[in-house]
Chains A and B, each alone.
Chain A
């Protein structure tokens, strides 16, 4: 099987919530100088988080 057929991660679009990514992830954020390997991420989708790029629960307010 080619590696291209194997999922490295799962991306879950949480309704009215963040983007949950879990698996083998290489995260880069040029603006904040982040370059890291992680296994779980909750990314803000609403633009209101005070901890961007991460979700901080602000979408509920």
Chain B
């Protein structure tokens, strides 16, 4: 089933078949003509609608969309799971060219914010996954709870060793 014009903003259009959706942003077209030179069966400026999503195999459509030098033509899989795995070699996938159309930002969705808790008269307790940068280098700390000194009295900086209590630290 092919349908056109589901997405419309400033004459922008989307064209869909069972597997992929192609987005057309006319304002970005510089008339390089790579689309219809490569695949007139799908991209025919003389037809209406000018994109026929049933005109060629999906692989050919993707390959041709990737040839577009601007964001005039972009594409995505209808299956969001598959979009996550698309590599940058697919230059015109929406997540590289038009992230505003990519509604499932996998990275943001999967990252749980770092919890940073300031303990009264005590350390700062950090929970989550983070990159720790120190003078000796960087390391990835996975899903951990760490407490960092806030009072300046610890004997094992940057971590808390409990000395804030002995020193009567009050914030």
Contacts and interface: CB of A to CB of B under 8 A. Distances in A.
B117 interface: yes
B150 A11 contact: no
B118 A53 contact: yes
A60 interface: no
Contacts of A1: 110
A27 B110 contact: no
Interface in A1-18: 1, 3-13, 15
Interface stretch (B15-23, B41-49, B55-63, B126-134): B126-134
Interface residues of A, number: 36
Contact of B152 (A4, A15, A26, A46): A46
Contact of A29 (B118, B148, B157, B169): B118
B113 A31 contact: no
Interface of B: 107-108, 110-121, 124, 126, 128-135, 140, 142-143, 148-153, 157-158, 169, 171
Interface of A: 1, 3-13, 15, 19, 21, 23-32, 34, 37, 41, 43-48, 52-53
